[in-house]
Each structure stands twice: as C-alpha cells, then as structure tokens.
Structure 1
Amino acid sequence: MSKPKSKLGVYISIGTSVFGVIGIAKQLRSAREEHDTLQLVDGIVSAAAVITGVALLGRELRRMNEDIHDVLSD
C-alpha cells in the first residue's frame, strides 16, 4: 500500500475502504444464507484486511497531525 501524500488522500483512502465494507457485508450475508464456509472465510479475511487498512491510514493521519503540531511549536 502506498502512502497518500496529503490529508485529503488519506481521507479518500479511508472512505474507499469503508465503502468496500458494503460488498463484504453482502458477501458474508450470502455465504451465511448458502452455508458456504469457504465464501464465509473469504469474507472474514476481506473484512480483516479492510480493518487493518483503515487502522494503518488512521495511524498515518495521526502522524501527519503530529508533524503539523511539531512545525507550529518551533
């Protein structure tokens, strides 16, 4: 995953990731209805990937905010 260079880029990445949750939720619901264990596992792994991605982006956003505060305090 490449690092976005601006706060706007980070917010867009977070939004895109969260938007992907809709597809994952549909996949999980379908897997449960069809009792498809493999599709259910795939949905769970996909959800974990989205959660991890959003956490990484959140950390990047916090670091950007800390960098701004460091520059202002100088």
Structure 2
Amino acid sequence: MSKALSKAKGFKKSKSGTYLSIGTTAFGAISVIKQAKKARLEHDTLKLVDAAVSAAAIVTGLAILYRELKRLGDDDVLLG
C-alpha cells in the first residue's frame, strides 16, 4: 500500500476526516429538502417517499459519524 493511500485511510478515521464527512453528509440534506419540497408541490407521493427514505439515510449516517467522533474523543482522553 502506498504511503499516500495509507495517509488517506488514516485521515478518514481521524477527527478532521469525521468532521468533513459530517459536513458533506449534512450538505446532502439540502438536496433532499429541495427534493421533498418539489415532490410536495407536484403532489408526487413516490418522490416524497424517496425523499423521506433519503432523509432517514442521512440521519442514520450522521448518527454513525457522531458516534465515531465521540469514540475518537474518548480515545484522545485515554491517550492523554
């Protein structure tokens, strides 16, 4: 495995990487909100259900990332 790839994998599991993931996931919520508003205006139930499922996936993803961030914080306390 190359040094750059190893560094990238380490970043993903770092606090900074987790914050970046939270930000990009939250940014995806904007798209889902727009999708839901459009579906409501068009009275499109299927698109509304799709938006609801996407929103649930975003909430779940944010919860997982929050848990990871909390775990990283706990590890820092143990190391210090």
Which residues of structure 2 form unaligned runs of 5+? 1-8
Instruction: Letter of the 1:55 partner, please give it.
Output: A
**Match 2:23 to one of 12, 15, 18:** 15
The one-letter amino acid paired with 2:73 is N
Amino acid at match of 1:62: K
CA RMSD of aligned residues (A): 1.6
CA distance in structure 1 between the partners assigned to 2:75 and 2:19 by the alignment = 17
Query: Structure 1 segments of 4 or more deviating over 3 A?
Result: none
Amino acid at match of 1:24: V
One of 37, 47, 53 as aligned partner of 1:45:
53
Q: State the 1:59 CA deviation.
A: 0.3
Overall identity of the aligned pairs, in %: 54
TM-score (norm 1): 0.90
- Stretches of structure 1 lacking an aligned partner (at least 5 in a row): none
